[in-house]
Structures are given as C-alpha cells and as structure tokens.
Amino acid sequence: MWIIPPFAPEPPKEVAEPGTPVAAGTGKPQTGERGDEVTGATGTVEETSKALIRRFVIRGSVPVENYAELFRCFVGPATRMKLKRLNLGVQFEMEVSEGRELDANDPTLKAMKESAHQLGLAFEVEE
C-alpha cells in the first residue's frame, strides 16, 4: 500500500504593476529586507516586458562531433517559431593532412562537388 500526501497547489506568481521597479532579469518587484520597494532598480515592468527582438544571428565554429546539436538546438526550434525568414548557411573548410595527397578524381571529393552543385553551393578547390 502506498500513502501519497496530497499535493498542495502552487502559490500564484507575483505580477508587478506597470512602472514598478524590478530586479534584473526576474520581472518581479524588487523589495528590501522589510518588504519595502528598493529604489535604483535596473528597470521597470514596462521596460522589461517591451524588449522585442526583430532579428537574431547565431555564428561560430562547432566541433564536428557536436554538429548534429545545431539542428536540435537551433534549426528545429527556429522552424517552429513561424519566422518571417530563416536563412541558413554553411561553410566547410577542409584541409588535407601534411604528407597526404588528395587526387582531384577522388570519388568522395567528386560526390561532394556534385552535391554542392545540386544544392546551389559554391565549391572551391585550392591546389
């Protein structure tokens, strides 16, 4: 037999009136030890709730072993956001190891070149 205590409902979240000073990043009224409002807060409810984002860009290098995470963390969520425009780009820089030569007729290289052509991507070779 299991005895499960009753679940207490969560207390309602504090909602501050517009113009009330808020603690940075919390959206909650900033109060002192005695419960009085603290002056000199970093913003007000109006200021923090009106921070609208029109465009954002994510850039940087990602190790090959984490490349699939880009789709899980950024591409998938972005497609669900119903954005006006989602412009994805790629840049692969591949360098042959010292002492190793890569033939221009290598089948893998040829397949990559054809794939780039079919996807409308530029394929540049440095000899």
Distance between CA atoms of residues 49 and 22, nearest Å: 11
Residues 78 and 111 both lie in one domain: yes
Task: Tell whether 126 is covered by a domain.
Answer: no
- Are the C-beta atoms of 45 and 20 separated by less than 8 Å? yes
Question: Is 95 a domain residue?
Answer: yes
Domain coverage including residue 43: 12-52
Only one residue has tokens 């899980």, namely: 72
User: Of 30, 50, 49, 53, whose CA–CA distance to 40 is shortest?
Assistant: 30
Residues 23-70: tens digit of each pLDDT: 554 445 445 545 544 444 455 555 556 788 889 999 998 899 999 999
- CB proximity list for 32: less than 8 A, separation 6 or greater: 38
Whether 82 and 108 map to the same domain: the answer is yes
The pTM of this model reads 0.52
Check whether residue 68 and residue 102 sit in a common domain.
Answer: yes
Do 113 and 83 belong together in one domain? Answer: yes
